[in-house]
Amino acid sequence: MLLVPCPNCGPMNAADLSYNGESHRRPDPKTCTPEEWRTYLYLRENPSGWLLENWYCSSGCRRHFKIERHTLTGELRAPVLPGRKPGATQGDMK
Amino acid sequence: MVEITHLDASPDTRVPKASVRAADGTAAAATLGLNFGSAEQRGETLVVRIRPDEWYLLGDGAPAMAAGLDLSGFASTVDISHSRTAVRITGDCAADTLSKLGSADFSDHMTPNGAALGNGIAGVTCDIVRDDQRGVRSYLLLLDGSFITYFLGALHDAASEF
């Protein structure tokens, strides 16, 4: 079982989350070239090593987050919510 | 011994439910409060902060509490009484039963009385509230009503050994 640390919920069974693939920035469709858009849509780095990925906590807090995963060892590190620094959580308001 | 009750199957035990979505800094969020993943009984209403920006109001007092909230700013409330259905599982082996069907840690250390979490139980996404009844371990499960027949079967099957 792969334990994925959600920034809000803590370690979760990967089966309780949705994997949304490699994280990469979308180019501006108004200014990018067709080659850049095609690369964004279809091409992936698929490295042998650390990879920044998008996950969705579908059974827990229902938040998207990014996390680094080592594609060889399965090791995971530095989960982060969009627009927040690593280690920050949402919902700590009292 | 585990007791499984489909609360919404009977008018006598039906649980009115309201969902409140409220962003940080809104009046509704300040009124409801609580930390993410916790629940508190307030009069006839069980208030559950089930997600960072979402609360459930459960019980007979839920409609009145939802209607009385200040929904100014980025906040809204929806009656979910007929989309989500409630199941209560009570007994000393309730946690063992749920552990057979889900991957969450239901020990007292991780989910004490008053804890709330989302987890897949028998493949069905459930919102779970630890809500002990008169000192006996008990969990309130909220799930999509469409799955209830399958879900009750899976629960009873898992509980049959206890």
Q: What does the pLDDT read at residue A88?
A: 67
Q: What is the pLDDT of residue A89?
A: 65
Report pLDDT for A78. 85
Q: Which residue intervals of chain A are DSSP H helices?
A: 34-42
pLDDT mean over A34-51: 93
Is residue A85 very low, low, confident or very high in pLDDT (cuts 50, 70, 90)? low
Q: How confident is the model over B130-136, as a mean pLDDT?
A: 94
Please judge whether A93 and B24 are an interchain contact, meaning their C-beta atoms are less than 8 angstroms apart. Answer: yes
d(CA A79, CA B96): 30
Tell me how crowded residue B7 is: count the other CB atoms within 10 A of its CB.
17
Cross-chain residue pair B52–A90, CB shorter than 8 Å = yes
Give the pLDDT mean for A29-33.
94
Task: Assess whether pLDDT exceeds 80 at residue A93.
Answer: no
Token couple for B67:
């209607």
Per-residue pLDDT, B109: 93
Segment 112-131 of chain B within 8 Å of chain A by CB:
117-120, 125
Q: Indicate whether A31 pLDDT > 90.
A: yes
> Which CATH class, in words, describes the domain spanning B17-79?
alpha beta
Question: Which residues have CB under 8 Å from B28's CB, separation 6+?
Answer: B20, B22, B69, B70, B71, B73, B75, B77
Interface contact flag, A1 B24, Cβ < 8 Å: no
Of residues B79, B64, B70, B78, the one with CA closest to residue B30:
B70
Architecture of domain B3-10+83-159: 2-Layer Sandwich (3.30)
- pLDDT confidence of A83, banded at 50, 70, 90? confident
Q: Cα separation of B59 and B45, whole Å?
A: 5
Q: Are B48 and B129 in contact (CB under 8 A)?
A: yes
Percent of residues, chain A, with pLDDT higher than 90: 64
- In sequence order, which residues have a C-beta less than 8 Å from that of residue B40 and are 6 or more positions away? B34, B46, B47, B114
Q: What is the pLDDT of residue A92?
A: 44
What is the per-residue pLDDT across B58-102, written as a single tens digit (0 to 9) for each?
Answer: 999 999 999 999 999 999 999 999 999 999 999 999 999 999 999
Please report the domains of chain A, with CATH numbers, ordered by start residue: 3-80 (3.30.2270.10)
User: DSSP characters for B45-88?
Assistant: EEEEEEETTEEEEESTTHHHHHHTS--TTTEEEEE-TTTEEEEE
Domain ranges of chain B: 3-10+83-159, 17-79
Tell me what pLDDT residue B33 has.
92
Give per-residue pLDDT as tens, B19-35: 999 999 999 999 999 99
Closest CB from A61, A93, A94 relative to B51 = A61
